[in-house]
Amino acid sequence: MGMIGGGIGAFIGDAHRRASRICNDYELVGGVFDPDFERNKKFAASEGIDPKRCYETVDALIKGEKALPPERRIEVVAIVTPNAFHYPFAKSLLNAGFHLVCEKPMTMTVDEALDLEKSVAEKKLTFALTHTYTGYPMVRQMREIISKGLLGTIQRIDAQYYQGWINSIIHGTESRITGVWRLDPKQAGVSSCMGDIGVHAFNLIEYTTGLEVKEILSDLSSVKDDVKLDLDGTVMLRFGGYLKGVIRASQVCGGEENGITIAVYGSKASLKWAQENPNYLYMLSDSEPTRVFKPAHGYNGKLAETGHTMPAGHPEGIYEALANIYRGAARSIRGEAYDKAEFPTVHDGVRGMKFIHAVVESNRMGNIWMKI
């Protein structure tokens, strides 16, 4: 595996390295970890990477790796930079024949997303998009329960993603450097809150239910005049027919940590899951006491069980969830059989970009319904 981004002090690159090691299918052998070459080299040395494979640019990585015999060459590259770099790097790496693990949001524009989808199809390469929450066993179990029709007709879907960390930054009570690129349109794109976290909630809805959101109407807030992008918002959802839903997302709900939750309400029963308590999936109904599903039990489906390695009662968390996505991608790269729900794909990336752009446009146009 190679990695682009994820150098000194980076957040998610570190999680990707841990996850790839947990699933035991990858070895990090090279990369461009930082745009500053001195910091890049320092980081590569700390990881024990051959200095010859610490490259100054993505083009240099492609050239250097292509010069190696195929059995030594990087097979898959993880892109864990800020959003603006995902598309150009992914495009070059796909053209050069590398499989990809890429962070969300996949690109800056819908056209770029469609272009990547075309490249992946043409090149027949694996592209795993790390919507990390789809790697949790109980999220996978939720998908399984819903696909069997056990909820009856779905009548209402609520997803929420509340964080508070940007609150102290915009009000000047905390100064930090990492992560604040999310407030810069040049690096983040058209949205902060909906692009960074609302899109996870959107993906979780489509992943667990297998349904497509057809139309959205959004109401966003940047909270302060000097903030350029949305930091908070509500999105109403239509799925066709009677089914409606809502996504609420915020980066300024002070005190909230990483509160992504989903509830799917059906005519017979309902499911509720919250990432801060990820090993418990609650099934509710009016006719029975609440049931609790947990990982590593025979009553779960195969997809959920492939996502848990320890016996019951040993909690697994975010690193293991990400490792499950890496494991699915490894199966695909090797040409082994795998369930298509083992990792989100470039198509999920297209859906996410359509969602983000429609949400921003709906708000800009005065809160109108938009098709996605």
Compare residues 29 and 80 and give the one whose CB is closer to ligand NAD: 80
Taking CB under 6 A as the criterion, which residues in 308-367 touch ligand NAD? none
Tell me which of 179, 272, 333, 347 binds ligand NAD, using CB under 6 A.
179
Nearer to ligand NAD, 34 or 75 (CB): 34
Neighbours of 236 (CB within 10 A): 16
Q: Which of residues 118-147 bind ligand NAD (CB under 6 A)?
A: 130, 132
Q: Which of 105, 276, 322 is nearest to 193 (CA)?
A: 105
Judged by CB, which is closer to ligand NAD: 80, or 170? 80
Question: How many residues belong to the site for ligand NAD (CB under 6 A)?
Answer: 24
d(CA 45, CA 50): 8
280 is a site residue for ligand NAD (CB under 6 A): no
Residue from 5, 233, 295, 352 binding ligand NAD (CB under 6 A):
5
Count of beta carbons in the 10 Å neighbourhood of residue 291: 13
Beta carbon nearer to ligand NAD, 82 or 97? 82
Report the candidate in 159, 157, 152, 145 with the shortest Cα–Cα distance to residue 304. 145
Radius of gyration from C-alpha coordinates of the chain: 20
Q: Which residue is nearest to ligand NAD (CB)?
A: 5
80-88, 135-143, 231-239, 272-280 -> range binding ligand NAD (CB under 6 A): 80-88
Q: In this structure, are residues 220 and 230 in contact, taking their beta carbons and an 8 Å threshold?
A: yes
Q: Within 10 Å of residue 286's Cβ, how many Cβ atoms? A: 7
Which candidate, 29, 195, 52, 41, places its Cα nearest to that of 98?
A: 29
C-alpha span between 327 and 126 (Å, rounded):
12
List the interface residues with ligand NAD, window 194-223 (CB under 6 A): 196
Residue 80 in contact with ligand NAD, rule: CB under 6 A: yes
Are 307 and 137 contacting, i.e. CB atoms less than 8 angstroms apart? yes
Q: Which residues bind ligand NAD (CB under 6 A)?
A: 4-7, 10-13, 32, 34-35, 80-83, 85, 103-104, 130, 132, 178-179, 181, 196
